[in-house]
Structure 1
Amino acid sequence: MSIKKILSISGKPGLFELKVQTRTGFVAESLLDGKKITVGLRANVSLLSEIAVYTYSEEVRLAEVFKAIATKENEGLALSHKESDDQLKAYFREILPEYDEDRVYISDIKKVLNWYNLLQPKGFVSMEALTAEKVSEPSKDEVSE
């Protein structure tokens, strides 16, 4: 499984898997409850495969961050996004030592860890799946908003 078809939809909780594209938008299935929804073309949607995290020298693809978490946790769950801000920052520093603290906010760290913990039990962030991810150029659609 791959994160190439996993979406974050603004205003909707959780993550979604792209199922079918239509003339007026697309159909997506919630990874939380399995319900299918239709989403119009005007919705603010981000593909996880296009999101990157700022570091001091470059932008690191979210798939690479997930791979670092999977390596650290031996493909288990990450630290909960509900931990204290200091614990979250220290944990994120362990997995991505060069992340830019001025441009990556605590809300971004919580989002990344929450997404990882949602995707991990479903097999989307196994080492095998993440190694197969095709690396492409980062877009303007960053984790930091």
Structure 2
Amino acid sequence: MEFSKIISVTGKPGLFKVISQSKNAVIAESLIDKKRVAINATQNVSLLENIAIYTYEEDVPLLDVFTSMFEKTAGKEALSHKENSKNLTTFFADVLPGYDEERVYASNIKKVIQWFNALVKAGMDFSKVEEVKATEEVETKS
């Protein structure tokens, strides 16, 4: 599963993997139930690869946050996104020290943890995602 093809669709639960594109829509498969849906241009879609988390120094790509969570949890799911806000923010502060507490809300942290757990459950191995990314960078520089 390629991280670069994972999307979130406003109004639809869970995450989706882009399968193909047509003239008027994107065909995506739910990571939860594997059902395919057509997402048209009027729906708001976010590519996870383009999302970053605010810190006091610089914005950190979501993939880096997920990789850090993957290392912290030893490849298993993190705590439930239904935990109380204090537990979620404590866990997130361990994963990403220095995140901007004024601009990153508890609801954002809840969503990131929910997405991480969905990706781990779907079989995403973030240690290999980093290796692929590094290999692609070396190939493009050659």
TM-score, normalised with respect to structure 1: 0.88
- Structure 1 distance, partners of 2:6, 2:131, is 16
User: 1:20 and 1:6, CA in 2 relative to 1: closer, same or farther beyond 3 A?
Assistant: same
1:128 CA drift (Å): 1.2
1:124 CA drift (Å): 1.9
**Residues 28-75 of structure 1 deviation map (CA, whole Å, 9 limit, x = unaligned):** 111111111101112100000110000001000000000000111111
Contact in 2 for aligned 1:78/1:113 (Cα 8 Å): yes
- Structure 1 distance, partners of 2:133, 2:92, is 22
Any idea what SS the aligned residue of 1:133 has?
helix
1:130 CA drift (Å): 3.5
- CA RMSD, 1 decimal: 1.6
State, as a whole percentage, how many aligned pairs show the same letter: 43
- 1:86 is the counterpart of 2:94: no
Contact in 2 for aligned 1:63/1:133 (Cα 8 Å): no
- 1:124 is the counterpart of 2:124: yes
Describe how 1:36-51 pairs up with structure 2 within 5 A: 36-51=36-51
Describe how 1:27-106 pairs up with structure 2 within 5 A: 27-106=27-106
- Structure 2 distance, partners of 1:42, 1:121, is 29
Q: Hey, which of these two has a bigger chunk of helix by percent? A: 2
Paired position in structure 2 for 1:133: 133
- Structure 1 distance, partners of 2:116, 2:104, is 17
Unmatched segments (≥5 aa) in structure 2: 138-142
Unmatched segments (≥5 aa) in structure 1: 137-145
Moved over 3 A (4+): 133-136
RCO comparison, higher one (Cα < 8 Å, 6+): 1
TM-score, normalised with respect to structure 2: 0.90
Any idea what SS the aligned residue of 2:43 has?
coil
